Amino acid sequence: MVTASAQLKGRSFTRVADWSASELERVLDLADELKEQQKRREPHHLLPGRTLGMIFQKPSTRTRVSFEVGIAQLGGTGLYLSAGDLQLGRGETLKDTAMVLSRYLDAIMIRTFAQADVEELARNASIPVINGLTDSSHPCQALADVLTIRERLGRLEGVTVTYLGDGNNVCASLMVAAAKLGMNFRAATPSGYEPSSEAVEIAREAAAESGATVELLADPREAAAGADVLYTDVWTSMGQEEERERRLRELAGFGIDQELLDVAGTSAIVLHCLPAHYGEEIAEDVLYGPQSAVWDEAENRLHAQKALMALVIS
């Protein structure tokens, strides 16, 4: 049976920037092992009797199912906590919530709006806190993304990843992960949709250390040329519904269709963190086409998060 290193026990995972390249690679390596064991139906109860509390202030398909199934496969229990079920919804502070839940649980996963809330929860909890998504970052998705890229291409260093569309939370976390792990990252966005300046600065500092590059471009075709990976996400995220029509107009031309994929070449793979909106950020025939790695990417949320939990939960 696989054993998890004690090096990361007790660590929170609130954003990619706080973890080193070697720590991220440790998660990827264990994820590979756990994925193989799961395929062989071999038990890998690395967290027997542990309980993960899952706080959801934003709804989810992949995050809830992958964490709940993942902790069960590790021998533990997942407890779903909707915002309406907690006293958080009636004014209890994050600090008090963190201190109480630390007495009951072995780790907390939270999917919420403000990154500051996740950081505050982690500061006041005595157990690991995992960021399941905020408006500014999606670190667990980035783990699944780089795991998928490494599986498909056999390497990370020197790979060129092109992200197209809205430079949102997914873009920010993937950009930082790519830079730390030696991948060249290009973000092609319309004016006003660039990734946050903070994320760009962190990524460029990491890229300077790893030998990678980070580019912000305005031309999707220029960004796609020679790319190993084309990546996109929805143009209208949760909470942005009133902006939908404007976003569709301003992001038009930044979707991944077969014509753009041909610019990248036949060896490029396509990624999308889902859910997909066909005819907007991606064409349906591309998502289901031979160059799509999207379904492996979705599955890898399970394996990457299992590895993360096994490494940080005591």
Q: Residues 56-114: pLDDT tens digits?
A: 999 899 999 999 999 999 999 999 998 788 887 678 899 999 999 999 999 999 999 99
141 a catalytic residue: yes
Residue of 11, 50, 111, 272 marked active site: 111
In a domain, 47, yes or no: yes
- What pLDDT, on the 0 to 100 scale, is given for residue 7? 87
Q: Are 127 and 159 in a shared domain?
A: no
The answer to whether the beta carbons of residues 133 and 169 sit under 8 Å apart is: yes
- What pLDDT, on the 0 to 100 scale, is given for residue 2? 53
111 a catalytic residue: yes
Q: Are 65 and 129 in a shared domain?
A: yes
Contacts of 286 (CB under 8 A, 6+ apart): 256, 257, 258, 261, 270, 292
Q: Is the pTM above the cut of 0.75?
A: yes
In a domain, 50, yes or no: yes
Q: Are 112 and 21 in a shared domain?
A: yes
In a domain, 293, yes or no: yes
- Mean pLDDT of the chain, nearest integer: 95
- What pLDDT, on the 0 to 100 scale, is given for residue 6? 65
Q: Are 131 and 167 in a shared domain?
A: no
Residue of 11, 26, 138, 150 marked active site: 138
Q: Are 155 and 131 in a shared domain?
A: no
Structural domain count of the chain: 2
Low-confidence ranges of the chain (pLDDT < 70): 1-6, 89, 238-240
Q: Are 127 and 206 in a shared domain?
A: no
Q: Are 218 and 123 in a shared domain?
A: no
**CATH code for position 305:** 3.40.50.1370
Contacts of 309 (CB under 8 A, 6+ apart): 47, 52, 67, 70, 71, 74, 76, 107, 130
In a domain, 5, yes or no: no
Q: Are 158 and 286 in a shared domain?
A: yes
Residue of 106, 145, 228, 233 marked active site: 233
| Residue 158 lies in domain | 139-297
15 a catalytic residue: no
- What pLDDT, on the 0 to 100 scale, is given for residue 288? 98
Q: Are 104 and 241 in a shared domain?
A: no
- What pLDDT, on the 0 to 100 scale, is given for residue 146? 98
Residue of 166, 247, 273, 303 marked active site: 273
In a domain, 3, yes or no: no
273 a catalytic residue: yes
Residue of 141, 145, 171, 305 marked active site: 141
